[in-house]
Amino acid sequence: MTPGAPSADPLTLGRRVRHLRTQRGLTLDQLAADTGVSASQLSLVENGHREPRLGLLSALAQALGVPTASLLDPEPPTRRAALEIALERAQGSPAYARLGLPAVRPSRTLPTEALEALVGLHGELRRRDEAASATPEEARRANTELRRTMRAVHNHLPELEELAEQQLRAAGHGAGPLTHRTVARMAAELGLTILYVDDLPHSTRTVTDLENGRIYLPPASTPGGHGLRSLALQAMAHQLLKHSAPVDYADFLRQRMEINYYAAACLVPRTPALELLRAAKAAKDLAVEDFRDAFGITHETAAWRLTNLATRDLDIPLHFLRVTEDGALTKGYEDDGVGLPADAAGAVEGQHVCRRWAARAVFAQRDRTTEFHQYTDTPGGTFWCSAQTGRNASGSRFSITVGVPYVHAKWFRGRDTAVRARSTCPDDGCCKRPPGELADRWAGRSWPSATMHAHVLAPLPTGSFPGVDDAEVYAFLERHAR
Ligand SMILES: [Zn+2]
| 2: confidence class by pLDDT, cuts 50, 70, 90 | very low
Residues with beta carbon < 5 A to ion ligand 1?
Answer: 354, 423, 425, 430-431
Contact 414, 287 (CB under 8 A): yes
CA–CA gap between residue 301 and residue 268 (Å, rounded): 9
Q: pLDDT digit string (tens) for 331-360?
A: 999 999 999 998 877 888 888 899 999 999
For residue 6, pLDDT over 50 is answered with no
Contacts with 408 (C-beta within 8 Å, 6 or more apart), sequence order: 316, 317, 318, 384
At residue 226, the pLDDT reads 65
| 95: confidence class by pLDDT, cuts 50, 70, 90 | confident
Alpha-carbon radius of gyration of the chain: 31
CA–CA gap between residue 247 and residue 262 (Å, rounded): 21
At residue 221, the pLDDT reads 59
Alpha carbons within 13 angstroms on the beta-carbon side of residue 183 total 26
When pLDDT is averaged across residues 379-395 and rounded to a whole number, the result is: 92
The pairing of beta strand 214-217 with beta strand 397-405 = unpaired
Q: pLDDT digit string (tens) for 297-324?
A: 999 999 999 999 999 999 999 999 999 9
Distance, CA 125 to ligand 1 centroid (Å)?
46
When pLDDT is averaged across residues 386-398 and rounded to a whole number, the result is: 90
When pLDDT is averaged across residues 116-131 and rounded to a whole number, the result is: 83
CA–CA gap between residue 212 and residue 191 (Å, rounded): 9
User: Is 376 buried (19+), middle (13-18) or exposed (0-12) by CB count in 10 A?
Assistant: buried
Axis crossing angle, helix 270-282 with helix 299-314, rounded to the nearest 10: 80
Contact 386, 291 (CB under 8 A): no
For residue 468, pLDDT over 70 is answered with no
| 203: confidence class by pLDDT, cuts 50, 70, 90 | confident
Lowest mean pLDDT among 19-33, 188-202, 428-442: 428-442
Q: Which residue has the higher pLDDT, 435 or 387?
A: 387
Distance, CA 352 to ligand 1 centroid (Å)?
9
Contacts with 33 (C-beta within 8 Å, 6 or more apart), sequence order: none
Taking the CB of residue 2, how many other CB atoms lie within 10 A of it?
10
* One-character DSSP codes across 395-431: S-EEEEEEEEEGGGGGGBTTTT---EEE--TTSTTTT
Angle 77-46-54 from CA coordinates, rounded to 5°: 95
Distance, CA 139 to ligand 1 centroid (Å)?
27
The separation between the first and the last C-alpha atoms of the chain, rounded to the nearest angstrom, is: 56
Q: What average pLDDT does the chain have?
A: 88
| 133: confidence class by pLDDT, cuts 50, 70, 90 | low
| 43: confidence class by pLDDT, cuts 50, 70, 90 | very high
Q: For residue 355, which of 388, 326, 322 has the smallest C-alpha distance?
A: 326
Distance, CA 63 to ligand 1 centroid (Å)?
66
pTM of the entire predicted model: 0.69
At 76, is the secondary structure helix, strand, or coil?
coil
Contact 399, 389 (CB under 8 A): yes
Distance, CA 423 to ligand 1 centroid (Å)?
5
